[in-house]
Structure 1
């Protein structure tokens, strides 16, 4: 029986690509005097390329940009601006709030597991207005362990007092989210992106597709229980 639904954040609930695009264009416009002679679209594209879907921390990204474009702002100043203002540009995937509210109403426990810097990720969760909807939130920096390490999943399950077989994990990264959760026996739903995945993986393109999958699993579990009686 499924009791808990756990989510990834970036690329699953938070539309990170759209959020990063919104942020870097806004940062350029707010510091336009610093970027004099640098074409905006070119600079923003370079930032996004160096960002590497969030897998390169921004201290290195900004240092590279400062060196390449000989900017008059330091990498530290640009990084501080990123940390303090990115939350103002967080964009959720369509249907996020409705789906989370629905799952809450259905009695599921909700958890969130995210790799990243603790305060930065929590600020983004709060910006999306979803902190209070979760029964537990785990950020890798605070725990000292990150996905796909099994320990971070077990910590979340222990907090929710459920077993791996009673939980579902939903994420966009095939290794960190899907393989990591499946390794300990959790069911998974892959939020499709540009990665090429096995066709046997249960996947979605929209968050609204989650409840029907849960209904299917619940019906299947109930049938199995009846057959065993």
Structure 2
């Protein structure tokens, strides 16, 4: 049985239900449909772009091209609309039952913990009131590549000072989280109502109490 030396979590859809976020952000989405659609396409393009020298510059340039503004204005729109207003919607959502209990238990056992998102994390952690539990809080943007690219996963393991094979990554996205982490030899736990066919995830779960019971025998 492989031993878990550290545990890392995705945030959106993993620490709290995506459906709650969708309902809470419905008004926001309707009011910013054009921008959201353009930004979604840009992020998809960025996931497939290599190499990336300056992530934020490239993101702003691609976004500006899609909505017809210059790079500086596009950067301001991204910061204001997607990094500030969007985060505020989190005040209307709650963590999954059992999330905080598991995080506290792992802390008591001195297991290094991390969170990683494709978006900025600091404000999110404060809004969710869990900012004091994690040893590493990082956004994949900071290393210049979005999930499922290997760079953010490897940087997370480096900051946690653990080998990838001893790191458990918990996420809700089969493609970005499970496949991205698994490709580097990390253990993966997939929160999902059903297990995808031929999933390489080490564990698929619906409730955090089940994940806790699966993790405990695998700790040092």
| TM-score normalized with structure 2 length | 0.69
Instruction: Find out whether 1:208 has 2:209 as its counterpart.
Output: yes
Aligned residue in 1 for 2:105: 102
The residue matched to 1:103 in structure 2 has which SS? helix
CA contact (8 A) 1:90 1:127 kept: no
Residue 15 of structure 2 is aligned to residue 18 of structure 1: no
Distance in structure 1 (CA, Å) of the matches to 2:179 and 2:146:
13
- 2-structure distance, mates of 1:84, 1:170: 21
Structure 2 counterparts to residues 32-51 of structure 1, below 5 A: none
Larger Rg: 1
**SS of residue matched to 2:8:** strand
Cα distance change on mapping 1:56 and 1:153 into 2, 3 Å: same
Question: When you count helix as a share of all residues, which structure comes out higher?
Answer: 1
Please state whether the residue corresponding to 1:131 is helix, strand or coil: coil
Q: Please state how far the C-alpha of 1:6 moved relative to its aligned partner.
A: 0.7
Could you tell me whether the CA contact under 8 Å between 1:114 and 1:138 is conserved in 2? yes
Instruction: Identify the residue that residue 186 of structure 1 maps to in structure 2.
Output: 186
Q: Report the Cα distance in structure 2 between the residues aligned to 1:144 and 1:157, rounded to whole angstroms.
A: 16
Matches within 5 A, 1:51-200: 55=40, 79=81, 82-83=85-86, 85-116=88-119, 118=120, 121-193=121-193, 196-198=196-198
1:133 aligns to what SS in structure 2?
coil
Is 1:7 paired with 2:5? no
CA contact (8 A) 2:11 2:116 kept: yes
Q: Which runs of 5+ in 1 are unaligned?
A: 29-42, 65-74, 223-229
Q: CA RMSD in A?
A: 3.4
Q: Is the 8 A contact 1:19 1:91 kept in 2?
A: no
What are the Cα deviations for residues 48-87 of structure 1, in whole angstroms up to 9, with x where unaligned? xx968x9568xx9xx99xxxxxxxxxx99x9378336323
CA positional deviation for 1:112: 0.9
Question: Which portions of structure 1, spanning 4 or more consecutive aligned residues, are displaced by more than 4 angstroms?
Answer: 54-57
| 1:203 partner SS | strand
Structure 2 residue runs without a partner (length 5+): 43-62, 68-76
SS in structure 2 opposite 1:10?
A: coil
- Does the 8 Å CA contact 2:143/2:151 hold for their aligned counterparts? no
Instruction: Describe the superposition over 1:167-204 as per-residue Cα deviations: whole angstroms up to 9, x where unpaired.
Output: 11111111111111111111111111578343663201
Task: Tell me: CA distance 1:174–1:133, structure 2 relative to 1, closer, same or farther (3 Å).
Answer: same
In the alignment, the residues of structure 1 paired with residue 182 and residue 87 of structure 2 have an alpha-carbon distance, to the nearest angstrom, of 35
CA contact (8 A) 2:178 2:200 kept: no
CA distance, structure 1, for counterparts of residue 107 and residue 11 of structure 2:
17
**DSSP-derived class of the 1:189 partner:** strand
